[in-house]
Structure 1
Amino acid sequence: MPLTRRTLFAAGGGGLLIAQAQVVAAQGQQTQNPAKPIVSDNKLRIAMPAFASDPFFPADGSGDKGVDMDLARGIAAELGVEPAFDRSALTFDAMVQKLTSGEADLAIGKLSRTLRRGRSILYSRPYAMLHQGLLANRVNLARIAQGKPPEQIIRDFSGNLGVIEGSSFATYAATTFPHAQIRRFAGWNTVVDAIRNGGIDLAYRDDFEIKKLMVDDPSMTVVARSITLTDKVDTIAVGISPDNPHLAAFVDLYLDLAKGQQVLNTDEIIARYRQGSKA
């Protein structure tokens, strides 16, 4: 029978002693079984790509500045542990594999949210929201459009579309451009080279990287133009080990309280990039 105020009084002092004993026992059990730490070994294992992506993260060993570097170190500091960076991932998907294999607690490195990745890992809420974009070879685009506005031919595009292997856009491409001939490249530089020499018609990535390219190399405007897909977003978030929902909840809490629920957009990130380039 459950203990109530009435049964305690009915039982006299004996009932009160039983209730007190139960409280003491519960307190003792809590002392013997302290809360499990969110991460083990006093360190936060963070997967980040081997390459650089300014202003999110630099090349390994070239510094500790960047949106993602600040985020990673901030989360570790609030957990009271040391960040341990693993920079061996050669692609974005390889970062995700670090989580599923148990080699990393977090993946922080301009990681896009996709439904496919969401089947195997946990995600934080987004801390950056970009639009998807295209980089088009001007001559090839004019040939394909045949006088029509480019926007009219984009959805039914059936030419050569370049993407980075192991990126979210390699996943998006088949759905967004079902008629395109998808060509996969090892890195962004090789994609840009293919646009420059006309080897592909369009390159598919987020609008930030395309705009950043134009900032770095204004001569690209002679051979290429950028197209922003305003109805397609690319949300950037922290990837979290599927075995640690407590850590996932903590990262969301950190983004809410320490970052004030801030969600960066392309213009803000471009401004930070320009500022860093002048430094």
Structure 2
Amino acid sequence: MAATQPDESLATTPLVGDVEEILARKSLVVAMPGFASPPFFGGSSDTLQGIDADTSQQLADALGVKLVLDRSSPTFDGAVALIEQGRADIVVAKLSRTLSRARNISYSRPYAQLSHALIINRVRFAILANGRQPEEVVRAFDGELGVIAGSSFEYYARNNFTKAKVRTFLTWQELVAAVREGHVDAAYRDDLEIKRLLHEDPSLTIVARSVTLTDLTDTIAIGVRRGSPHLLEFVNLFLELSGRDKPMTADELVNRYLRKA
């Protein structure tokens, strides 16, 4: 899928962002981080692929306008900032719903629901446990916990693991390497990313183990500019009519998308 990039006027002039203005402008500006996060989005701007890439194009088609992608942000929070600043209409980017973000943006209904999960260095975890049961160690985790900077899991880590020493990393690849090499005790993300990691690199299980926290969920939705009620209603109706209103789980995503790769 190919999409145009935002021109200079869109980057400097705040957008109104509701449906009437989008139709007059003849473009839907979608914020999406510049990195890849399969099966949601990946590839280059010329050959963008994935669930969120398809959704973005289909939303633009349903509105009868061209799709303009803004992939200038290196983080999820940066993509959210683009709609907060009026530089984009929506965020379609495996966006987690958090209370902190909900102060400034609106969310569509969820189209995916994942569980929280950890990938833990076996040696460091054994030292940290010091004879305690694994469940006890996880629930009262006070080791070094790695997260991706500017992601929802940085927020979750500081709220769900208040005793942990939270360390941020710029990319998932750097964080996984830190777990493998024993530079942090564990990495914190959703169970889809952990399943995908172990599917792509089974050798990681030699030095690390995964733990799924089934009582903690990460719901994925489309972010919409606050003050755009018509656009939010349109996005929700699109999700309903296209059959995306029943949130997909990590296992469904793995079976449907990742095992085909």
TM-score under structure 2 length normalisation = 0.89
Say whether the 8 Å CA contact 1:38–1:246 is kept in structure 2. Answer: no
Residue in structure 2 matched with residue 168 of structure 1 by the alignment: 152
Say whether the 8 Å CA contact 2:109–2:245 is kept in structure 1. Answer: no
Q: Choose the corresponding residue for 1:37, options 15, 20, 41.
A: 20
Distance (whole Å) between structure 2 residues aligned to residue 109 and residue 51 of structure 1? 10
Q: Give the Å deviation of 1:273.
A: 3.4
Q: Choose the corresponding residue for 1:115, options 72, 86, 99.
A: 99
Q: Choose the corresponding residue for 2:194, options 210, 218, 221.
A: 210
Residue in structure 1 matched with residue 61 of structure 2 by the alignment: 77
The residue identity in structure 2 corresponding to 1:37 is E
Distance (whole Å) between structure 1 residues aligned to residue 234 and residue 45 of structure 2? 28
Residue in structure 1 matched with residue 129 of structure 2 by the alignment: 145
Q: Give the Å deviation of 1:147.
A: 3.4
Gaps of 5+ in 2: 1-17
Distance (whole Å) between structure 2 residues aligned to residue 152 and residue 80 of structure 1? 54
Distance 1:175 1:260, change over 3 A: closer
- Shift >4 Å, 4+ stretches: none
Say whether the 8 Å CA contact 2:19–2:230 is kept in structure 1. Answer: no
Q: Give the Å deviation of 1:148.
A: 3.1
SS of the residue 2:40 aligns to: coil
The residue identity in structure 1 corresponding to 2:164 is A
Q: Give the Å deviation of 1:186.
A: 0.5
SS of the residue 1:228 aligns to: strand
Q: Give the Å deviation of 1:38.
A: 5.5
Q: Give the Å deviation of 1:274.
A: 2.7
The answer on 1:194 being equivalent to 2:178 is yes
Residue by residue, what CA displacement relative to the aligned partner does 1:145-199 show, whole Å, maximum 9, x if unpaired? 2333311211111110000000000001111000000101111011101100100
Distance (whole Å) between structure 2 residues aligned to residue 204 and residue 68 of structure 1? 23
SS of the residue 1:88 aligns to: coil
Residue in structure 2 matched with residue 134 of structure 1 by the alignment: 118
Q: How many residues end up aligned between the 2 structures? A: 243
The residue identity in structure 2 corresponding to 1:163 is V
The answer on 1:64 being equivalent to 2:45 is no
Distance (whole Å) between structure 1 residues aligned to residue 193 and residue 167 of structure 2? 18
The answer on 1:273 being equivalent to 2:257 is yes
Q: Give the Å deviation of 1:90.
A: 0.4
SS of the residue 1:37 aligns to: helix
Percent identical across equivalent pairs?
47
